[in-house]
Chains A and B, each alone.
Chain A
């Protein structure tokens, strides 16, 4: 398979230069690397520009409610444990409207991959503050600068002993694709938080802003060291680490094991009793 086979014909609503394009490319490459055919996966998304992403690749898609991608993904996974389930959405979607679900998905550790496109702003609704807007950031609803500290999803995920906790950058496509592939392989809840410039509504955290700050965790970094992961997850500002921060050995949420299909006799018996 090559990534082009995963293209969809839907007209794309994103602005030219949007970080979403890099993320989409990384997702496609990860699927190719994992040798996952479209019928083997189900994408679940909420509402927002980020949540449109699965429309723009060839895949099964459940485009649900704003903020509710994770509970829907949980339902999909429990109904059909064989499917690879990937939830996808923005920072507003996942950390504000869906914040409670995020907490419990981490705690539950069900085998779902969660890709959060984090542009630190509400894009679809045209530029209001999001939970990850930096303190002091001016947006359409924080005209004199946000008064609350930004939410740090990775720190929360590590604190809750989340299954797989990673951060990528939208235009480091190869690095991001590897993180996504690792997330899908991980047998438990996997968060890939993806830093992404929004060219229309975030004039602060631009591509350049990220480029100047982002650094990759070293090869010898040990993602099982929770204390260190917690410290790095809180590193933000001058330097911003990306990579796999933390991997937990906690068991994943048990999935239903399909009962053996009824033999011919049982089937006939059932039919008789139901008649």
Chain B
């Protein structure tokens, strides 16, 4: 198929439909309302369901209901809206139901602003809702990658019976890039014989997340824990850049900031400074193993984020602080420039070695 020029939000919308996400709920919020606007036109054409809810609380529970009924369902929102969905997300994870939630992250906390940010890393990766649960979290760094990740997200949600989050910042949602909708093949999925889709010819199904018996609740937690361990084993995705030759420092960055780091790497190379990049594509599971290997030859690691440093904690954990891990970030919707990032590398290389 030929490439078409599309705005990130609309490309995500189209890809969601093509991935079979024919049940979509939304509540308007900048900078992602274009997904909803696009789907309000497109869904009727493909016989899908589009509904603008009265709030994100409603939307996330509509999602819970549709997921329980066994259809591919999804929503998109931005940070404050996603916060309101956290309660349902915890229940969806507990009830082991598949759905996809796209967060086009904007600057926070609070109402914050509408410009790009990566401030929701912790919320996405560490929970956000209550209890011991995890979501698979994908972080595209281009419109094409966002398009490619949608079918994967729906597949993995079904395969693991777990909510999947896609974290894009406002840049990804708003920018125009040429994209191609590629057909992706996945192994067949088990039948959704747990769905509350009418119970003719079988015993009734129940969607529930209440376990008053502590032994049963513990069993659920352990079962979920094993599932998350399987994700950590099988689902890690990352990209490496410039790691094929010796390098002095290693960037760790995802999404938009990873693109900035790539430009910074090219600039630094012109000055004879070799730097590499590890770009996590899955934020959970985090590419800890590969990070450790890539950290080995580097003098230090530099986490570049549009936040006050959230992934930074996972980098330190993964490497057990064996290497100095530094942080460079911009906040509030400001995007770091490749020059700033390159200067920071030079500053760190010039300053005392081994400083933590």
Does chain A have a CB within 8 A of B33? yes
CB contacts (< 8 Å) of A65 on chain B: these are 80, 111
* Contact of B55 with A141 in the complex, beta carbons under 8 Å: no
Q: A67-B55, A97-B54 are in contact. Are A125 and B41 (CB under 8 A)?
A: no
Given contacts A125-B28, A125-B29, A128-B33, are A96 and B40 in contact (CB under 8 A)? no
Of A47, A97, A124, A142, the residue contacting B40 (CB under 8 A) is A142
Across-interface contacts of B54 in A (CB, < 8 A): 96-97, 99, 131
Q: Which residues of the other chain, B, contact A125 by a CB distance below 8 angstroms?
A: 28-30, 33
- Asked if A9 lies at the interface with its beta carbon under 8 angstroms from chain B, I say no
Interface size on B, residues (CB 8 A): 17
Report whether B44 and A141 are in contact in the complex, using a CB–CB cutoff of 8 Å. no
Q: Which residues of A contact B29 (CB under 8 A)?
A: 125
Determine if A141 and B80 form an interchain contact, defined as CB atoms under 8 angstroms apart. Answer: no
- B87 CB-CB contact with A under 8 Å: no
A66 to B30, CA, bound (A): 13
> Nearest chain B CB to A207's CB is how many angstroms away?
24
Query: Please, what's the 1-or-0 string for B9-27, where 1 marks a CB less than 8 Å from any CB in chain A?
Result: 0000000000000000011
A53 to B29, CA, bound (A): 20
B26 to chain A, nearest CB (A): 8
Cβ–Cβ contact A126 & B33, under 8 A = yes
Interface hits, B33-64 → A, CB 8 Å: 33, 36-37, 40-41, 44, 52, 54-56
Chain B residues 84 to 141 lying within 8 A of chain A, measured CB to CB, are 111
Given A122-B28, A128-B33, answer yes or no on A143-B55 (Cβ-Cβ < 8 Å): no
Closest CB in chain A relative to B80 CB, distance in Å: 7
Q: List the A side residues contacting B80 at CB < 8 Å.
A: 65-66
Residue pairs across A and B with CB atoms within 8 Å: the count is 45
Contacts of B55 in A (CB 8 A): 67, 96-97, 99
**A66 cross-chain contacts in B, Cβ below 8 A:** 80, 111
Alpha-carbon gap, A151 to B56, bound state (A): 19
Task: Scan residues 110-146 of chain A and give those whose CB is less than 8 A from a CB of chain B.
Answer: 122, 124-126, 128-129, 131, 140-144
Chain B residues in 8 Å Cβ range of A129 = 52
Cβ contacts under 8 Å, A131 to chain B: 54
B111 and A141 contacting across the interface, CB-CB below 8 Å: no
- Judge whether B36 and A128 touch: CB under 8 Å: yes
Q: In the assembled complex, which residues on chain B have CB atoms less than 8 Å from the CB atom of A92?
A: 28
What does DSSP make chain A's interface, helix, strand, loop or mixed?
loop
A104 to chain B minimum Cβ distance, whole angstroms, is 15
Contact for A144 among B26, B30, B36, B44, CB less than 8 A? B44
Complex CA–CA separation, A140 to B37 (angstroms): 6
Contact residue among A96, A97, A141, A144 (Cβ-Cβ distance under 8 Å from B37): A141
**Measured CA separation A141–B36 after assembly (Å):** 7
A46 to B172, CA, bound (A): 28
B176, chain A: closest CB distance, angstroms:
18
A125 → chain B closest CB, angstroms: 4
- Report the nearest B residue to A124, measured CB to CB: B30
A124 to B28, CA, bound (A): 10
Known contacts being A141-B28, A141-B37, is A128 close to B111, with CB within 8 Å? no
Q: Complex: how many Å from CA A128 to CA B30?
A: 12
Q: B30 contacts which chain A residues (CB < 8 A)?
A: 124-126
CB distance from A134 to the nearest CB of B (A): 15
CA separation between A144 and B42, bound complex, in Å? 11
Chain B residues with CB under 8 A of A124: 30
CB proximity to B under 8 Å, residues A136-167: 140-144
A39–B55 CA distance with the chains assembled, in angstroms: 34
A to B CB contacts below 8 Å, 26 in the list: A47-B111, A66-B80, A67-B55, A92-B28, A96-B55, A97-B27, A97-B54, A97-B56, A99-B55, A124-B30, A125-B28, A125-B30, A126-B30, A126-B33, A128-B33, A128-B36, A128-B37, A128-B52, A129-B52, A131-B54, A140-B33, A141-B26, A141-B28, A142-B40, A143-B41, A144-B44
Q: Which residues of B contact A (CB under 8 A)?
A: 26-30, 33, 36-37, 40-41, 44, 52, 54-56, 80, 111
Please give me the 5 A-B residue pairs with the lowest Cβ-Cβ distance, nearest first: A125-B28, A96-B54, A128-B28, A141-B40, A97-B55
**Besides A126-B33, A128-B33, 18 other CB < 8 A contacts?**
A47-B111, A66-B80, A66-B111, A97-B27, A99-B55, A122-B28, A124-B30, A125-B33, A126-B30, A128-B28, A128-B36, A140-B33, A140-B37, A140-B40, A141-B52, A142-B52, A143-B41, A144-B44
